[in-house]
Amino acid sequence: MLFWLFNSLIVLGFVTLYSRILIRMIIASEEELAERANKDRLTHLYNRHFMMELLKEAYVDDEAYYIAMLVSSTNG
């Protein structure tokens, strides 16, 4: 009886530890994916999708905002 109780506690400890590690890995990967989705790989500047989300948030908020954007093209 004592063996089964001890064994159950050890298995529960391993499952808890493994679950915590997996949750941390999932959160880190979600943060990395959000970073990759909003920034350009080459220039590390925010892309259009990030700016559109920022504009939506500014529009919903009732405070006054000043927004300036610079758009340039290297195609000529």
Residue 67 lies in a domain: no
Residue type at 17 in one-letter notation: L
Q: Is residue 65 part of a domain?
A: no
Does any domain span residue 75?
A: no
The verdict on residue 46 lying in a domain is yes
Q: pLDDT at position 10, please? A: 95
Q: What angle do CA 26, 50, 60 make, to 5 degrees?
A: 105
Does any domain span residue 11? yes
Question: How confident is the model over 20-71, as pLDDT tens digits?
Answer: 999 999 999 999 999 999 998 898 888 888 988 888 888 887 777 777 777 7
Domain that holds residue 36: 2-60
Number of domains the chain is built from: 1
Return the bridge partners of 39, or none.
46
Tell me whether residue 68 is in a domain.
no
Residue 71 CA to residue 46 CA, distance in Å, equals: 12
Q: Which of the pair, 76 or 12, is modelled with greater confidence?
A: 12
